[in-house]
Amino acid sequence: KAGVTQTPRYLIKTRGQQVTLSCSPISGHRSVSWYQQTPGQGLQFLFEYFSETQRNKGNFPGRFSGRQFSNSRSEMNVSTLELGDSALYLCASSSPVTSGGAVSVDTQYFGPGTRLTVL
Amino acid sequence: QKEVEQDPGPLSVPEGAIVSLNCTYSNSAFQYFMWYRQYSRKGPELLMYTYSSGNKEDGRFTAQVDKSSKYISLFIRDSQPSDSATYLCAMRIGAGNMLTFGGGTRLMVKP
């Protein structure tokens, strides 16, 4: 199976612009989560989408938004970019792991990330 | 104070050493505990996950969870240079996908 893919891999924007990042999950995975990774704050959860609906949301301002399409592909958008938005944005897809016939918890698989630089 | 604390390192060990990586956390509601490995310029890769307290072993890796102390560990036996990476602990409360990560420990295994 192909892994999680993210496009673009690198992006340079200026303050005030907006950006859209794309994530294609592993085939068959219906949940897609987004994370921001910075040297200072580490990995922080942005939001999760499942079956085109936002299921969880982290503590980020409304400038950060996302959506999921019927094929489970997801996009996240950041409007009015700030210097502090420079980060690695990671997407993870997941599917429940079955064990002994019982559905267990989801296991997340991460993509390589999109490196966003805001100048 | 962060919910999950992890010594950032770097931790430098010789090849073949036993490595101990640790995280402490403050939220007693965490039930699921994971360890991820992240190589430079790559996304995190799941190594181990454990539900509640106890030990779990997978090859050279052993994960331990002590919920009474709010402390989790990852042990790597017979460490190899290819184990050189950043190791992240992560936790979540329920079966959803909202993970809370530690800051990561950078490990260097020298030949």
What is the tens place of the pLDDT at every residue in A74-97? 999 999 999 999 999 999 998 766
* A107 near B CB under 8 A: yes
Could you tell me which of A115, A112, A64, A65 has the C-alpha nearest to residue A88? Answer: A115
Say whether B96 and A48 touch across the interface (CB within 8 A). Answer: yes
* A/B interface, count of CB pairs below 8 Å: 59
C-beta separation of B56 from B62 below 8 A: yes
Return the pLDDT at A103: 47
Could you tell me which of B57, B50, B2, B51 has the C-alpha nearest to residue B24? Answer: B2
Say whether A31 and B97 touch across the interface (CB within 8 A). Answer: yes
Query: Whole-number mean pLDDT of chain B?
Result: 93
CA distance B76 to B38: 15
Rg of chain A in Å (alpha carbons): 14
Return the pLDDT at A2: 79
Contacts (Cβ under 8 Å, ≥6 apart) of B111: B15, B81
Return the pLDDT at A97: 62
Residues B77-94: what's their mean pLDDT? 94
Return the pLDDT at A108: 86
Helix (H, G, I), strand (E, B) or coil at A33: strand
Q: A21 vs A53, A67, A119, B64, CA distance in Å?
A: 18, 11, 17, 36
Q: Which stretches does DSSP call E strand in B15-76?
A: 19-25, 32-38, 45-51, 54-58, 61-66, 71-76
pLDDT tens digit string along B27-81? 999 988 999 999 998 999 999 988 878 889 999 999 999 999 999 999 999 999 9
CA distance A91 to B10: 26
Most confident of A79-83, B1-5, B92-96: A79-83
Say whether B43 and A31 touch across the interface (CB within 8 A). Answer: no
> Looking at CA atoms only, how far is residue B16 from chain A in angstroms?
29
Q: How far is CA A69 from the centre of its chain?
A: 13
Cβ contacts of A113 on chain B, cutoff 8 Å: 42-43
The pLDDT-based confidence of B97 (bands split at 50, 70, 90) is confident
Query: Whole-number mean pLDDT of chain A?
Result: 91
